[in-house]
Every structure is written in C-alpha cells, then in structure tokens.
Amino acid sequence: MRTYRYLEDVVTLECDLEKCIGCAMCTVVCPHAVFRIEKKKAVMEHRNLCMECGACMQNCPTGAITVEAGEGCVRGIINELLGIEGPCC
C-alpha cells in the first residue's frame, strides 16, 4: 500500500485515553491505519496519516476520539500564508 502523508503535525485528531475502552473500532474503520491497540487502549501510531474523515470519531462508542473533519491541513496552509509558525491546532 502506498502511504500518503498530509501536512506534519496539523491534524486535529485527539484520543482521550481515560474514555477509551479498547473496543478497537477505530482500528477497524480507519482507512489509513492511524490507530493500534496497546494495553487495551487506542494508540495513535501514525497520527500524521490521518485524513480527518471522522470515521473513528463517529464509531467510537465512548466519545474518546475527536477530530474536526478536514480542518487540520486547511489551518496549516492558512497559518503558513500568514507567517504563523508552529502547530496550528
């Protein structure tokens, strides 16, 4: 599988490990294999591969995963144009 990367460190994806029950739905629905399960918790192994589709958030039964669909790359580009450095989120 060919791997695509989006802008580094701009994705809005977050996972609250306190809420995570380790159901692994995020690993099932993520088209880019961003998550893996470790010690019964979801771990973002490849966070920068996230395309912010929202599938993980929509399928997380506890609301542990949040993502602002499609916003990370847009914010990164706008911040770059405005001369703002560092992570945008």
Q: Is residue 1 part of a domain?
A: no
In sign, the C-alpha dihedral spanning 65, 70, 73, 74 is: negative
Q: Is residue 56 part of a domain?
A: yes
Total domain count, the chain: 1
> CB–CB of 49/10 below 8 Å?
no
Residue 60, domain extent: 14-82
Token reading at 43: 């771990």
**Tens of pLDDT along 1-49?**
455 556 677 788 999 999 999 999 999 999 889 999 999 999 999 998 8
The enclosing domain of 18 has a CATH number of 3.30.70.20
Q: Is residue 6 part of a domain?
A: no
Q: Is residue 69 part of a domain?
A: yes
Quote the pLDDT of residue 63.
Answer: 97
Of 18 and 81, the one with more pLDDT: 18
Task: Compute the average pLDDT of residues 52-59.
Answer: 92
Q: Assign 2 to helix, strand or coil.
A: coil
Q: The whole model's pTM is what?
A: 0.72
Q: Is residue 5 part of a domain?
A: no
Q: Is residue 39 part of a domain?
A: yes
